[in-house]
Chain A
Amino acid sequence: MNKTQKSDIQLFYAKVIDRAAKLGFLLLLLTFSVYISGILTPYVPLEHLSQYWGVSAAKYLEATQIQPDWGWVAKLHHGDMLNFFPITILAGVAIFGYLCLVYKFFRNREIILGMIVIFQIMVLILAASGVLKIGGH
């Protein structure tokens, strides 16, 4: 690989994560405004939140009957659940960026770094899949 190619990969990755992060942030501002304005009825009313924020995540889920993992997808018509969409984008920016890197590294015949990126994607997808979760204490 020559010097320019290396620089190009860095710049390409910078561009990808920059745009994706800004998109996620703007959407988060939008959906949070929808949530607190009450345009869409929240699944858990804002006034009730103070009852839950002092308890563990496991007890919160139990009390509110919220399904963890990807359960929010089926409840996007609720103002609070809508916010999980941009949060997912923000938490997925790195995965998207690395997917783009795989192509770049293999095209430049950098097999070892390409394999590291693939392993990294597998780790991130494992985390994002919801297979690994914990019920809390």
Chain B
Amino acid sequence: MAERIKNLGEGAKGQWSLPLRKTPPSPLPQSLMGFNSAGEVRAKGPDFTSTISGLGGGCGGRAGTPYKKGPWPSPHIILALMVVWWFWGGVGVAWGATGPQAAAGVTPWWVWALILLGFSFLVGIVSLLGGMGGGTLFVSIIGGFLPFHLDFVRCASLLVALCGALSAGPGLLRYGMGDLRLSLPAALMTSSGAIFGALVGLKLSAQTVQTALGLTILGIVFIIVRAKKLEYPEVPTADPLSILLRIGGVYLDRATKEEVPWQVHRTPVSLLLFLLIGIMAGVFGIGAGWANVTVLNLIMGAPIKVAVGTSKLIICLTNTSAAWIYLHSGAVLLVILVPSIIGMMLGSWAGVYVLVRIAPIRLRYIVIALLLFAGIRSLLKGLGIWN
């Protein structure tokens, strides 16, 4: 049996891997956003592996690489000013001195719509740079600071992250960074789990979800700080299931212009983890891209760029199944949903501009700070300490 598996493995490498590209793939149209254009940027500029890899600082980022400078102020300053503006110029004014719930009744709907548009724009930038789906940031901050019920926020978050993934997915597939075969079994597990999670999540009280969300986000911060992503994990032997499913191949790393062969292992245990990730995604209304990337890269051994790309494909399915449950349960408010989707898409486009001008390590700090703040806020709000 072992001999047979070994032969199968060799067969997989020989017959089923992606073709070795002799030339880089053709540039993607500008209309495609996010990672498509980011791929072009990477080919010309610094390696943003650590930036897009779920913020792990352990690989790829070239600290000494000079970043492209333009006529604009430092992107860090622009980004920081936008965050400050959003909180104090937008949310602060809308709240007034009364807090979010009281302000909800007196502030016109279009003010909230503009706040959501602005915030989603920021989330679009940060999530693109941070290799996240954006759902976690969206739910934690919108759910924590704006007066909307978590049912509506979670539904909007799922669709926002879904739209982001749908925008990025085609480009990732074309570049070979997202692997369809790798995504198929994983997405089946996450989407099944997400249905169950959504049903449970809608049954829980808002306070319970807020508290659990706060704890989860603080856990995410811990993972981001501690986990060291691996650019090219060592996988000595592919496991039988991955061989059977013919998972593996070769992708062109546009930063190094190298063709990288890859295969995966520990597929069965990873599929169970994907089921748990799906449940969590459904409960909290997030895409859980950070969790997908961690499992794909650290446990299965997929190269980090393949893991990030494939994670987006998985999010498409996870969020689709969970979003349907929320949609059918009536958790849709258009003034929350539509501005958020528009902002996210515009932010993804703008993120590409920022990507060439911001150092990965500093971005990591921005995202960690935002998540830490939002996580503490969710926890305290759930516990009734800070309403």
Contact = CB atoms under 8 A, between A and B. Distances in A.
B329 interface: yes
Given A47-B109, A58-B330, A93-B166, A124 B151 contact: no
B163 A90 contact: yes
A69 to B, nearest CB: 5
Contact of A49 (B166, B320, B335): B335
- Interface size class on chain A is 35 or more
Given A14-B174, A50-B109, A123-B195, A136 B151 contact: yes
A126 interface: yes
B188 A53 contact: no
Contacts of A113: 181, 184, 245-246
A56 B181 contact: no
Contacts of A15: 170
Contacts of B245: 112-113, 116
Interface string B279-297: 0000000000000000000
Interface string B8-21: 00000001111100
A37 interface: no
A80 B329 CA distance: 17
A57 B19 contact: no
A18 to B, nearest CB: 4
Contacts of B203: 134, 136-137
Interface in A44-89: 46-47, 49-58, 60-61, 66, 68-69, 80, 83-84, 87-88
A11 interface: yes
A1 interface: yes
Interface string B303-344: 000000000000011001111111111111111111001100
Nearest to B247: A113
Given A116-B185, A123-B192, A17 B330 contact: no
B199 A120 contact: no
A52 B333 contact: yes
Contacts of A134: 199, 202-203, 325, 329
A49 B335 CA distance: 8
Nearest to A48: B109
A122 to B, nearest CB: 10
A117 B335 contact: no
A80 B332 CA distance: 11
Nearest to A60: B330
B206 A56 contact: yes
A13 B246 contact: no
Nearest to B341: A28
B162 interface: yes
Nearest to A110: B246
Contacts of B110: 36
A6 interface: yes
Given A47-B109, A49-B109, A91-B327, A126 B195 contact: yes
Contacts of B262: none
B300 interface: no
B349 interface: no
B244 A112 contact: yes
A131 to B, nearest CB: 9
B120 interface: no
Contacts of B101: 54
26 contacts: A1-B246, A3-B18, A3-B19, A7-B176, A9-B180, A10-B174, A14-B171, A18-B170, A25-B163, A28-B338, A35-B334, A66-B330, A83-B338, A88-B327, A90-B163, A91-B324, A91-B327, A112-B244, A113-B246, A119-B188, A123-B195, A127-B191, A127-B320, A127-B321, A134-B199, A134-B202
Interface of A: 1-4, 6-7, 9-11, 13-15, 17-18, 21-22, 25, 28-29, 32, 35-36, 46-47, 49-58, 60-61, 66, 68-69, 80, 83-84, 87-88, 90-95, 110, 112-113, 116-117, 119-120, 123-124, 126-128, 130, 132-137
- CB-based closest 7 A-B pairs: A18-B170, A14-B173, A21-B166, A57-B331, A14-B170, A127-B324, A57-B151
